[in-house]
């Protein structure tokens, strides 16, 4: 019997070690996270290529045109084929006086401010912010029909 006891003591069952040490993986992930956080602000955004307009719809015949120049100056004119006197040269206007000038030109054409179409024509080098400020100001003062002028590229 003593032989059986010694053999059972000396014979240990060996189990496979199934534990995975994940600490090195966590360290690698944290280093990658830091690298991405540091390099993300350094990446310059690419230029956005805007789509070209194949066939733009025709603008209404009677409208107020707001032109935004490269130096952010605004000019307003009334295009009315029925009234040849309204075809005067564009008048310069400041951004804060834009809604009142559009209101005057709309009443001159015999339309209300919410029924008068307004077309914003901006130079392609004008900042997006200048166009959006004019658009937002017109919308706040009751202009319902505002459009952006585009150049048609028939393909």
| Whether 55 contacts 154, CB under 8 Å | yes
- Location of structure tokens 């009234």: 83
pLDDT number for residue 29: 96
Query: If the chain, 155 residues long, is cut into consecutive pieces of 10 residues, what is the mean pLDDT of each piece?
Result: 52 72 92 92 59 61 85 85 66 89 86 85 83 90 84 60
Tell me which DSSP letter residue 72 carries: S
Task: Return the number of other C-beta atoms located less than 10 Å from residue 126's C-beta.
Answer: 17
Kindly report the pTM of this predicted structure: 0.58
pLDDT number for residue 48: 40
Q: Kindly list the domain boundaries of the chain, sorted by start residue.
A: 63-148
Strands (E) across the chain are located at 63-68, 74-79, 91-93, 118-122, 146-148
CATH number of 63-148: 3.30.420.270
pLDDT number for residue 19: 79
């Amino acid at each position: 019997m003593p032989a059986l006891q010694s053999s059972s003591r000396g014979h240990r069952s060996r189990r496979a070690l199934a534990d995975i040490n994940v600490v090195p993986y966590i360290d690698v992930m944290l280093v990658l996270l830091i690298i991405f956080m540091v390099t993300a602000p350094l990446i310059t955004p690419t230029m956005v290529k805007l789509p070209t307009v194949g066939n733009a719809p025709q603008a209404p015949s009677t409208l107020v045109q707001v032109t935004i120049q490269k130096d952010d100056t605004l000019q307003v004119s009334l295009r009315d084929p029925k009234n040849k006197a309204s075809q005067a040269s564009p008048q310069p206007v400041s951004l804060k006086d834009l809604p009142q000038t559009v209101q005057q030109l709309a009443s001159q054409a015999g339309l209300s401010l919410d029924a008068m179409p307004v077309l914003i024509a901006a130079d392609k080098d004008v900042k997006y912010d200048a166009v959006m400020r004019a658009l937002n100001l017109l919308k706040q003062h009751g202009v319902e029909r505002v459009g952006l002028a585009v150049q048609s590229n028939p393909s």
